[in-house]
């Protein structure tokens, strides 16, 4: 217990220490201030702007920003789909893999272009090196940069600034944020033993005299952007539980930090934009407290183990099913909560093997989407709850709702409602369809309460753009590929469009002078109210599902002790 607790605490301390450093850098980059990388990056960006025809100084409205985002994502999505379907005849296919089925290829293209990276396949047996590098690896950068750009545009709008230029924000997100960190992180992973090779799979002779094929490939560069960009799609089927993706405790620590580094730093960057670091730290603390609570209940559940197994053994043992012995129960519990809190979706153990408290925590994260949330968009969702908290508390005291000196009116509340309501619709409606036709559609491997979790988890993962799954589900079918793709699209683009329109509306409002009667949002009381709003509006929406899934499963296990 002590060792696992120390590992978890050390990771969180590193996150807290790096948050203001990275947050200040993000703010400086997108506020147009000078940074240390300018002498290297400025010439590169000028070349990109010249060849692309982008004018970085040309500001966009909310509609223009959304159109640019949708058009660029559509073009990239078509390109990715074509590469996947033509991989049999494209370079870097040493094992001669054929194209996936059209529905699996479509689901994969949509999944990766939206930063979801939900995989209904095993990478080493389905996709060529060329597909992994030029299709999936490419959009791992662009999809993460898209979410980061939206969050920056949203923060600009909230603070009364112009939204900026999508193409410029996309380029700066890659050249000044993702690429530099990935270069350093990729080299560190190489030193840790993660392979980076174009050589075909190795054939070796085992001690029994049999031939074994060992998959390998250009993994190191793929792995770091997988975690840093909160993509989560594994080069291998077992994801970061595979020793070639995550070989040691050091690589595990680096990849865990990479998942949370940008989401946590964006909260601090908001404080720099608004010149109110106090509020940023209060919001950070609120999210951290919820996160730590979820980590604790998950870790305790894994440490106590399965009561049925413990009864057979005659003693208490941690739940080691689905765990990598390199990391143990502690790091697996932290990673499981982290990967669903940040919407990364990578796994270093099997989510399906978690005890009910772990199942509760992972589903809870994907239902809320703000602890710490998806790449960029999670931060924006978090401030939607702040806006709703301002609206509700202002109505209680009879004042006109104001946030950052700008009035919150009908249009803003309508757009905020759309953002929050899309998520439950994208999860609960397709889940209900599956439960209505279990024999024809479900693919459930567990008929009990855990089977409910399998279905709901799949759609929650899709709608939240997370990508992880409870792997007992038979999900590579026409129904699951197309229905999950629909949830992915709804969960990604409808909220993004609403966020940009809301930010545009706020940026056009006249600033209201601050008076003694202005509701201050940088106090512990208001932060506590915001936390209550999050739990009431977010958690209670899905409470019946949690009761039918992990909570019922926990009671069922407890009854068999």
C-beta of residue 426 within 8 angstroms of C-beta of residue 490: yes
Give Cα separations from 37 to 20, 28, 33, 86, 266 (angstroms).
18, 11, 11, 38, 19
Which helix (H) or strand (E) element contains residue 403?
strand 402-403
Which helix (H) or strand (E) element contains residue 232?
none
Q: Bridge-partner residues for 211, per DSSP?
A: 205
Question: Tokens standing for 462?
Answer: 């899709």
| pLDDT on residue 404 | 77
- Reduce the secondary structure of 90-148 to three states and give it as a string: CCCCCCCCCCCCHHHHHHHHHHHHCCCCCCCCCHHHHCCHHHHHHHHHHHHHHHHHHHH
**Nearest Cα to Cα of residue 464 among 262, 232, 276:** 232
Q: Give me the phi and psi of 205, to 5 degrees please.
A: -100, 125
C-beta of residue 460 within 8 angstroms of C-beta of residue 430: no
Give the count of beta carbons closer than 10 Å to the beta carbon of residue 57: 10
> How much is the pTM?
0.94
**Nearest Cα to Cα of residue 549 among 409, 458, 455:** 455
**CA pair distance 140, 142, nearest whole angstrom:** 6
Q: Bridge-partner residues for 560, per DSSP?
A: none
C-beta of residue 385 within 8 angstroms of C-beta of residue 526: no
Which helix (H) or strand (E) element contains residue 288?
helix 277-304
| pLDDT on residue 255 | 94
Residue 193, burial from CB neighbour count under 10 angstroms (0-12, 13-18, 19+): middle
**Nearest Cα to Cα of residue 485 among 144, 109, 137:** 109
| pLDDT on residue 3 | 67
- The per-residue pLDDT string of the chain (561 residues; one tens digit each, 9 = 90 and over) reads 666 678 788 888 999 999 999 999 999 999 988 888 989 999 999 999 998 888 888 999 999 999 999 999 999 999 999 999 999 999 999 989 999 999 999 999 999 999 999 999 998 999 999 999 999 999 999 999 999 999 999 999 998 899 999 999 999 999 999 999 999 999 999 999 999 999 999 988 888 888 888 999 999 999 999 999 999 999 999 999 999 999 999 999 999 999 999 999 999 999 999 999 999 999 999 999 999 999 999 999 999 988 888 888 878 888 888 888 888 888 999 999 999 999 999 999 898 889 999 999 999 999 999 989 888 788 888 889 988 888 888 877 767 677 777 888 889 899 999 999 999 999 999 999 998 887 767 777 777 888 889 999 999 999 999 999 887 788 889 999 999 999 999 999 999 999 999 999 998 888 777 766 677 888 888 899 899 988 888 778 898 899 989 999 999 888 776
| pLDDT on residue 1 | 63
| Angle (nearest 5°) at CA 467 between 251 and 224 | 25
**Nearest Cα to Cα of residue 384 among 158, 66, 153, 145:** 158
| pLDDT on residue 248 | 92
Question: What CA dihedral angle connects 426, 431, 433 and 438, to 10 degrees?
Answer: 160
**CA pair distance 306, 449, nearest whole angstrom:** 16
- Reduce the secondary structure of 149-210 to three states and give it as a string: HHHHHHHHHHCCCCCCCHHHHHHHHHHHHHHHHHHHHHHHHHHHCCCECCCCCEEEECCCCC
Give Cα separations from 101 to 85, 86, 91, 129, 352 (angstroms).
8, 11, 20, 18, 26
Question: What CA dihedral angle connects 76, 80, 82 and 87, to 10 degrees?
Answer: 150
Q: How far apart are the first and last CA of the chain?
A: 22
| pLDDT on residue 26 | 95
User: For residue 373, what are the contacts with CB-CB under 8 A and spacing of at least 6?
Assistant: 263, 341, 342, 343, 379, 381, 382
C-beta of residue 361 within 8 angstroms of C-beta of residue 375: no
C-beta of residue 179 within 8 angstroms of C-beta of residue 141: yes
Q: Is 402 helix (H, G, I), strand (E, B) or coil?
A: strand
**Nearest Cα to Cα of residue 7 among 295, 261, 242, 343:** 295
């Amino acid at each position: 217990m002590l060792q696992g607790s120390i590992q978890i605490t050390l990771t969180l301390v590193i996150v807290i220490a790096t948050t203001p450093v990275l947050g200040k850098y993000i703010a400086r980059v997108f506020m147009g201030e000078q940074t240390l990388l300018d002498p290297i990056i400025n010439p590169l960006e000028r070349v990109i702007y010249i060849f692309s025809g982008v004018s970085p100084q040309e500001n966009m409205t909310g509609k223009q920003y959304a159109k640019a985002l949708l058009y660029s994502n559509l073009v990239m999505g078509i390109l990715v789909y074509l590469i996947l379907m033509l991989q049999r005849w494209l370079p870097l296919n040493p094992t001669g893999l054929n194209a996936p089925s059209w529905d699996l290829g479509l689901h994969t293209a949509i999944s990766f272009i939206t930063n979801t990276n939900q995989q209904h396949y095993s990478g080493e047996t389905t996709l060529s090196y060329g597909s992994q590098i030029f299709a999936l690896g490419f959009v791992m950068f662009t999809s993460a940069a898209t979410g980061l750009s939206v969050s920056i545009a949203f923060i600009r709008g909230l603070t009364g600034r112009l939204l900026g230029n999508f193409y410029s924000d996309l380029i700066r997100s890659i050249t000044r944020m993702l690429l530099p960190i990935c270069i350093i992180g990729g080299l560190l992973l190489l030193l840790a033993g993660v392979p980076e090779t174009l050589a075909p799979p190795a054939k070796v002779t085992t001690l029994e005299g049999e031939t074994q094929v060992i998959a390998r490939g250009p993994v190191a560069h793929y792995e770091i952007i997988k975690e840093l960009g909160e993509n989560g799609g594994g080069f291998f089927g077992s994801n970061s539980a595979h020793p070639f993706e995550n070989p040691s405790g050091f690589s595990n620590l680096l990849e865990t930090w990479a998942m949370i580094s940008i989401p946590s730093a964006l909260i601090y960057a908001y404080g720099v934009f608004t010149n109110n670091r106090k509020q940023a730290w209060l919001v950070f603390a609120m999210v951290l407290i919820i996160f730590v609570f979820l980590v604790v209940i998950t870790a305790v559940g894994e440490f106590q183990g399965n009561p049925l197994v413990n009864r057979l053994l005659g003693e208490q043992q941690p739940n080691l099913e689905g765990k990598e012995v390199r990391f143990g129960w502690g790091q697996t519990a932290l990673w499981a909560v982290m990967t669903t809190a940040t919407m990364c979706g990578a796994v270093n153990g099997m989510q399906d093997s978690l005890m009910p408290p772990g199942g509760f925590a992972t589903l809870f994260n994907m239902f809320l989407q703000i602890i710490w949330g998806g790449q960029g968009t999670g931060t924006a969702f978090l401030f939607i709850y702040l806006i709703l908290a301002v609206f509700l508390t202002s109505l209680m005291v009879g004042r006109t709702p104001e946030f950052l000196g700008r009035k919150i009116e009908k249009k803003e509340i309508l757009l905020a409602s759309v953002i929050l309501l899309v998520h439950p619709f994208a999860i609960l409606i397709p889940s209900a369809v599956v439960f209505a036709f279990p024999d024809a559609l479900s693919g459930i491997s567990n008929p009990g309460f855990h089977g409910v979790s399998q279905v709901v988890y799949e759609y929650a993962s899709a709608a939240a753009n997370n990508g992880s799954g409870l792997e007992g589900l038979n999900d590579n079918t026409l129904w699951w590929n197309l229905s999950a793709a629909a949830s992915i699209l709804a969960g990604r683009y409808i909220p993004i469009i609403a966020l940009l329109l809301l930010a545009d509306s706020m940026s056009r409002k006249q600033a209201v002078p601050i008076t003694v009667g202005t509701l201050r949002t940088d106090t512990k009381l208001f932060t506590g109210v915001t936390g209550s709003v999050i739990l009431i509006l977010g958690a209670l929406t899905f409470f019946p599902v949690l009761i039918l899934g992990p909570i019922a499963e926990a009671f069922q296990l407890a009854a068999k002790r």
